[in-house]
Amino acid sequence: MENEFWPLFDLRIRTSRIEIRLPNDNALGDLARLAAKGIHDPVAMPFLYPWTDEPSPLLERGMLKWGWRHRAEWASNNWTFNGAVFVNGEVVGVQSLMATDFAALRAVKSGSWLGLAYQGQGIGKEMRTAILHFAFEALGALEAHSGGFIDNESSLRVSRALGYEECGRRTVLRRGIPTELLEVRLDKSQWNTTPHTKVEISGLDDCRDFFIAPDSTVS
Ligand SMILES: CC(C)(COP(=O)(O)OP(=O)(O)OC[C@H]1O[C@@H](n2cnc3c(N)ncnc32)[C@H](O)[C@@H]1OP(=O)(O)O)[C@@H](O)C(=O)NCCC(=O)NCCS
């Protein structure tokens, strides 16, 4: 056990190719190095908050602070799970899952990125499938939300491939320029209609209360 008081570190979400787990400080450092090597063409900006514009070492420090902040602010029913994604024991990116008032709303939101060297090989789709399986099948979520800038083809294609449907558009400032953001939503009923890669979860029993407050009822 990584830390008896923080069993979240021992939660594992796996497919035959990837493993998702909460990064410890070493893994956060690996993620920081990976992000500094590049996540996207510097001309483009896929993120709402343009954190990849930070020069080194601020980008790397920012990555550590981001990991620590979400750990420190974790609350039952209100959480951001920033899962590090591993392939063959090497960290390749992040798959996040967030919820607010989870027991009452049973809705989740996701965000993700991969190091450039790992993109375009189906890993993005597989890690989203894994986290959706975790949300719908293990936590009892009823709907999942995501979104992407209108020109972020790979991100929007992952969503479309998994059955999400467009549920709104809004214009936000991207590097100071108004840009359209597409919002998408996937219902549990829609999720149930499509076959998915097999996903295995371990270590949830010891940290279920991190996700759902023990006095809330989720069936
Ligand atoms: C978005 C991201 C996580 C997707 O992961 P990925 O492993 O590259 O995607 P996959 O290989 O699983 O491919 C998913 C779909 O996108 C398509 N795709 C992949 N790379 C693409 C590209 N550069 N341009 C257009 N389409 C692309 C694939 O063909 C596939 O579509 P299909 O299911 O219709 O065949 C990854 O590309 C990434 O980290 N991008 C930069 C950061 C980012 O945009 N994060 C999301 C912010 S909203």
Could you tell me which of 154, 185, 130 has the C-alpha nearest to residue 12? 130
Cα distance between residue 102 and residue 108, in whole Å: 8
Residue 216 lies in a domain: no
Res 196: pLDDT:
93
Q: How many CB atoms lie within 10 A of CB 44?
A: 13
Mean pLDDT of all residues in 78-102: 98
- Which residue's alpha carbon is nearest to atom 6 within ligand 1? 124
- Helix extents (H) in the chain: 25-37, 58-72, 102-105, 123-133, 153-161, 188-193, 208-211
Residue 194 lies in a domain: yes
- Helix extents (H) in 116-152: 123-133
Per the structure, the count of domains in the chain is 1
Res 217: pLDDT:
66
Residue 150 lies in a domain: yes
What are φ and ψ of residue 179, in 5° steps? -140, 140
Instruction: Please indicate whether residue 117, judged by its CB atom, sits closer than 6 Å to ligand 1.
Output: no
Residue 137 lies in a domain: yes
The CATH number assigned to the domain holding 123 equals 3.40.630.30
Out of 37, 92, 158, 181, mutate this one to test ligand 1's pocket (max ligand atoms within 8 Å of CB): namely 158
Cα distance between residue 112 and residue 178, in whole Å: 22
Could you tell me which of 53, 100, 61 has the C-alpha nearest to residue 81? 100
Residue 131 lies in a domain: yes
What are φ and ψ of residue 194, in 5° steps? -110, 140
Q: Which conformational region is residue 161 in: left (phi greater than 0), alpha (psi within -120 to 50 degrees), or beta?
A: alpha
Mean pLDDT of all residues in 9-20: 98
- The boundaries of the domain holding residue 31 are 8-211
Residue 23 has pLDDT above 70, yes or no: yes
Residue 76 lies in a domain: yes
Instruction: Please indicate whether residue 165, judged by its CB atom, sits closer than 6 Å to ligand 1.
Output: no
Mean pLDDT of the chain: 96
Q: What is the pLDDT of residues 115-167, one digit of tens each?
A: 999 999 999 999 999 999 999 999 999 999 999 999 999 999 999 999 999 99
Residue 2 lies in a domain: no
